[in-house]
Amino acid sequence: AQSVTQLDSQVPVFEEAPVELRCNYSSSVSVYLFWYVQYPNQGLQLLLKYLSGSTLVKGINGFEAEFNKSQTSFHLRKPSVHISDTAEYFCAVSGGATNKLIFGTGTLLAVQP
């Protein structure tokens, strides 16, 4: 069985500061990893994905994530956040014979001026 853990339910940060949102996964098979963003009262949008190859993945809006197989992690980073980055961020994993996504419980990024 696969699972995803996002330990931080909320991350407050000041504008223009760097941020890291943590994601750890558990799986007995090779995985594909995704980060989604949800702005208030909207659906989820894909930020970035790791399928294979380079472990550093760049996404939209200046976000990037690094796949670390030994640490079973896929942390999301941005060097300088904006007020408009305030949203909930979800890490998700898929793999094996199923095409289902398993989501973490989400991290609310609250950017303060």
Partner 1 sequence: NAGVTQTPKFQVLKTGQSMTLQCAQDMNHNSMYWYRQDPGMGLRLIYYSASEGTTDKGEVPNGYNVSRLNKREFSLRLESAAPSQTSVYFCASSEGRNNQPQHFGDGTRLSIL
Q: Per this entry, what is the length of the chain? A: 113
Question: Which tokens is 99 given?
Answer: 């095409």
- Please tell me the distance from the alpha carbon of residue 71 to that of residue 55, in angstroms, as a whole number: 13
In the complex, what is the shortest distance from the CB of residue 55 to partner 1, in angstroms, rounded to a whole number?
16
Q: How many CB atoms lie within 10 A of CB 36?
A: 21
In the complex, what is the shortest distance from the CB of residue 103 to partner 1, in angstroms, rounded to a whole number?
4
In the complex, what is the shortest distance from the CB of residue 92 to partner 1, in angstroms, rounded to a whole number?
8
CB 89 within 8 A of CB 109: yes
Rank residues 15 and 86 by Cβ distance to partner 1 and give the closer one. Answer: 86
Rank residues 89 and 111 by Cβ distance to partner 1 and give the closer one. Answer: 89
Rank residues 17 and 51 by Cβ distance to partner 1 and give the closer one. Answer: 51
Rank residues 6 and 81 by Cβ distance to partner 1 and give the closer one. Answer: 6
Question: Which tokens is 85 given?
Answer: 């980055």
Q: Which residues bind partner 1 (CB under 8 A)?
A: 9, 32, 34, 36, 41-46, 49, 51, 90, 94-96, 98-101, 103-106
CB 81 within 8 A of CB 111: yes
